[in-house]
Amino acid sequence: MLPREIIYLSLSYSITAILIYIGLLSILVKSAKIELKDKFYNEKIAEYKQQKKSLTLEQEKLNIQVTGISLLYETTRDISKTLDEAEALTLLKIKLKQFVEFDDCFLLNSEERDKFEEVIFYHLPLVIEGKVFAYLAIKNLNIKGLTLDHLYIIVNQFALILKKIRLYNQLQELAITDGLTHVFSRRYLMERFTEEYNRSLKFDHKLSFLMLDIDHFKDCNDKFGHLVGDIVLANVADEIKKNIRQVDFVGRFGGEEFAVVLPETDKPGAELSAERIRVAIKNRMIKAYDEEISVTMSIGIATYPDDTDKPDKIIDRADWSLYRAKQTGRDRVCTYGVYK
């Protein structure tokens, strides 16, 4: 072979080798680009997945917050409608059951709290103005749809509602009771008497009314002073309450005068009740500061419908009978229409 042909053949092989190299290099470059592209896409996909996961977790947190806010609003709205403490607690239980699991839920004071194991009972303090006034004891609590923070917010709102209920009840009690003797005020006593009169009228029941007055109470005030007199009034009221039935009710009619309403009670029954009160008061020794005092009481009785069918006349005739008890020696029971 001629040298020129050898040169051409060598050149041809070189060019072919170069082309093959270039082709292989192109393939390698393309492969590298694909790998880089795949890596980029994989990284982006992983990033997107992480972002999606983060967004999902954030959404779950937001859902829990929305749920908590919604529950807080609904719970506060519904419980605020009642002025009864037991009913408020029942409504709270119903609302909480939608979002947490527990066996029971009730209120405890500080002394009662120590009787319940904290392993079983989760104690949430009810705080008003920085002071714990009660605990919400939740048995076997398992939080599923709320955070503990939300539960504390709900409990704090419940504490405010309880405070409102208790203040309302205190105001109501002040409105219907006498501040000194803690029996019904005259106004509320008359309201209850009217209710009992209407009920007796409707169902044809007997109804008796007692008018009671402490004997020589003015002398007691003059001798020992009004502070001692107040203690005497409080003790007399307490003794009357102890010696009547749960269905009966007593009120301060004015000064040292009291009244007792006896539903479904005839004359003999009213006389037994009045005599029991009179004896109990006579036998009670009242300690007032450095003094020990005993007092007596005169009592007048009138009964519906035996004596009258008019409610105002029942009171008038009981008062007239009281006046007769005073005039005939005090420390006695006199019944309208009965003269002994």
Q: What pLDDT is attached to residue 40?
A: 61
Rounded to two decimals, what is the model's pTM? 0.58
Choosing from 129, 256, 275, 291, the catalytic residue is 256
- Mean pLDDT computed over every residue of the chain: 83
Q: What pLDDT is attached to residue 332?
A: 96
Sorting pLDDT into bands at 50, 70 and 90, what band is 134? confident
| pLDDT tens column, 36-80 | 555 666 666 667 667 767 767 676 665 655 665 666 667 677 777
Task: Say whether both 163 and 212 belong to one domain.
Answer: no
Domain count, the chain: 2
Task: Say whether both 76 and 207 belong to one domain.
Answer: no
Q: Cα–Cα distances in Å, from 159 out to 57, 71, 125?
A: 32, 16, 9
Q: Which residues contact 265 (CB under 8 A, 6 or more apart)?
A: 206, 207, 208, 248, 273, 303
| pLDDT tens column, 195-250 | 999 999 999 999 999 999 999 999 998 898 989 999 999 999 999 999 999 999 99
What is the average pLDDT across 100-126? 78
| Residue 6 φ/ψ, nearest 5 degrees | -65, -40
Q: What percent of the chain has pLDDT over 70?
A: 77
Sorting pLDDT into bands at 50, 70 and 90, what band is 83? confident
Task: Say whether both 100 and 153 belong to one domain.
Answer: yes
Q: Is the pLDDT of residue 1 over 60?
A: no
Q: What pLDDT is attached to residue 287?
A: 92
Q: Does 241 map to a domain?
A: yes
Residue 25 three-state SS? helix
CATH of residue 234's domain is 3.30.70.270
Q: Does 30 map to a domain?
A: no
Domain that holds residue 159: 40-175
Q: Does 103 map to a domain?
A: yes
Q: What pLDDT is attached to residue 192?
A: 94
Q: Does 169 map to a domain?
A: yes
Least confident of 74-83, 157-166, 187-196: 74-83
Between residues 147 and 123, which one has the greater pLDDT? 123
Task: Say whether both 313 and 192 belong to one domain.
Answer: yes
Concatenating the DSSP letter of every residue in 177-216 gives B-TTT-SB-HHHHHHHHHHHHHHHHHHT--EEEEEEEETT
**112 given a catalytic annotation:** no
